[in-house]
Amino acid sequence: MQKVRVRFAPSPTGHLHIGGARTAIYNWAFARHNGGTFVLRIDDTDPERSTQENVEAILRGLRWLGLDWDEGPEAGGEYGPYFQTQRSDTYAAALETIRAAGRAYPCFCSPAELALKRDSARDARGLSGYDRTCRCLDADSAASRVEAGEPHVWRFAVPDDLNEVSFEDAIRGNVTFPASSLDDLVLVRSDGTPTYNFASVVDDALMDITHVIRGDDHLSNTPKQILLFETLRHPVPTFAHLPMIWGADGKRLSKRHGATSVEAYRDSGYLPEAVLNYLALLGWSLDAETTLIDSRTLVETFSFDRVSSNPAIFDTDKLEWLNGVYIRALDVDEFVDRMKPWILGAGLASAEELRGLDDWLRKLAPLVSERAKRMDEIVPIISFLFSQDIAIAPDAAAKALSFPDAAATLTAARDALQTPPGFRDSEIEAALRDLPAALEQKPKTVFQAVRVAVTGTTVSLPLFESLELLGRDRTVARISAALTFLEARARVDAAEGRT
């Protein structure tokens, strides 16, 4: 078997999309699995919507996922250039080849005429596509009209003696299209630029692509492309059409479904390993059981016969769960490294302030990683540790600081916290453990009161560890502040005649 060469050919009309990312992952995995070459090609034939910014975002997105390409932008390669806009000579030459084979002709029909023909032909007899008017034009007169500069496109002439085009899709098996359903597609637009179907085939041929792995939406383009490969006298690559990814409502994935770009997931606290894992499993499976898979294993085990042929709905819940699994699997130092940008980004601390806090962050890490499904969630969880004072949430006060002996309880807790010499979580726990019995309160009542006094909320990191991380001074100060708060509230209540 010849050396595998596959390509991912995004159009830089937007950022790296979830669906595109999965296509890239499968291409990459297939190439690596077979010791082949992964080519990145930028299909920027749409000058209106293509931007350099999008190209960069796509490269960034791929790299973030851990995908590397052997040929393409910033990597070079013998088959370049890897931007279609830089390959116009190539398409011109290919058009000549097709003309020489007698399979291309100029078409002078205007867009308005075509639209008219389309509508009438389609509804009348179920015919599709172009009616081939210009194919029947006298060759000499057509040539002179072209010569005279009359606006025209170049069309491919589908052979008349063709019955059908069929191919063996690596995922779907045999697919057959009747030749009558194939129309004389446009190869070159009136402005001289190639259409997608043409440019894509020319590039795939010249780049010796052996396997075309792409979205299902291209399945119907395949027979036309096969005809072009054949006319160019180039071996037809193997096609593998991946099922689409849908939004939760079963519709095409769009902004309405929330984030669609890979970088948006990065920015909302997803780990690249988790996104890769989730996407890999959206349409492919290793076996009946495996849900955790890293890129190495993916490369080792990837094959088309385990790619599903039916579309999948993108399930954010499952991605989140998976992300949580990966967060918890991070070792302490790794978690600290990944936590820092979020602390900085949220303005909880400056880089300056963070310096020297590594030991402290390492102590914090396991408490947080166990509770966050996304990295952005760590910010609200740890913010109470980064301020001098906190505000007590009214509903938290109502729930945990409104029992009769609240003030006495907090005072007793504050006193008990003076004793532990090192203020370690075990010492803190020892100091507070006996309090409930002594005060004739339930443990939960006492601990929740302290929690709200110190963190401002009823839900927080484990109490004793939180106090240790806060330090004695701030802990005591916050309990005192809470006591002041209770006094003030009592005065207001009294003034308003409440009990």
Partner RNA sequence: GGCCCGUUCGUCUAGCGGUUAGGACACCGCCCUCUCAAGGCGGAGAUCACGGGUUCGAAUCCCGUACGGGCUACCA
Site for RNA in 315-334 (CB under 7 A): 315, 317-318, 320-321, 324-325, 328
Q: State in angstroms the smallest separation of the CB of 390 from RNA.
A: 15
Site for RNA in 384-423 (CB under 7 A): none
Contact between 145 and 187 (Cβ < 8 Å): no
Question: Strands, DSSP E only, in 20-91?
Answer: 37-40
Of the residues 51, 85, 97, 221, which one makes contact with RNA according to CB under 7 A: 221
User: CA 148: distance to chain centroid?
Assistant: 50
> Does residue 149 touch RNA according to CB under 7 A?
no
**Phi/psi of residue 371, nearest 5 degrees:** -110, 0
Of the residues 63, 76, 139, 151, which one makes contact with RNA according to CB under 7 A: 151
**C-beta of 7 vs 371, nearer to RNA:** 371
CA distance 290 to 191: 51
Quick one: CA dihedral 399, 402, 405, 410, positive or negative? positive
Of the residues 35, 250, 356, 394, which one makes contact with RNA according to CB under 7 A: 250
> Does residue 122 touch RNA according to CB under 7 A?
yes
Amino acid at 482: A
**C-beta of 71 vs 377, nearer to RNA:** 377
* Torsion, CA 427, CA 429, CA 432, CA 434, rounded to 10: -100
How open is the CA angle 140-143-149, to the nearest 5 degrees? Answer: 145
Active site residue 255: yes
CA distance 326 to 340: 17
Classify strands 37-40 and 5-8 as parallel, antiparallel or unpaired.
Answer: parallel
**C-beta of 151 vs 235, nearer to RNA:** 151
| Alpha carbon separation from 193 to 46, 134, 227 (Å, rounded) | 9, 20, 20
Among 38-46, 86-94, 329-337, 478-486, the segment contacting RNA (CB under 7 A): 38-46
Give the contact letters, 40-79, x = binds to RNA (CB under 7 A), - = no.
---x-xx--x------------------------------
Of the residues 85, 190, 383, 480, which one makes contact with RNA according to CB under 7 A: 190
> Does residue 172 touch RNA according to CB under 7 A?
yes
State the catalytic residue, choosing from 255, 318, 442, 444.
255
Site for RNA in 265-284 (CB under 7 A): 281-283
CA distance 342 to 364: 14
Of the residues 217, 333, 334, 389, which one makes contact with RNA according to CB under 7 A: 217
Among 181-189, 232-240, 401-409, 489-497, the segment contacting RNA (CB under 7 A): 181-189
> Does residue 202 touch RNA according to CB under 7 A?
no
**C-beta of 36 vs 106, nearer to RNA:** 106
Q: What is the DSSP string of 372-439?
A: -SSGGGHHHHHGGGGSS--PPPHHHHHHHS-STTHHHHHHHHHHHTT--SS--HHHHHHHHHTHHHHH
Site for RNA in 427-466 (CB under 7 A): 429, 443-444, 447-448, 451, 458-465
Number of residues that bind RNA (CB under 7 A): 89
Contact between 48 and 12 (Cβ < 8 Å): no
Query: Which residues are part of the catalytic machinery?
Result: 255
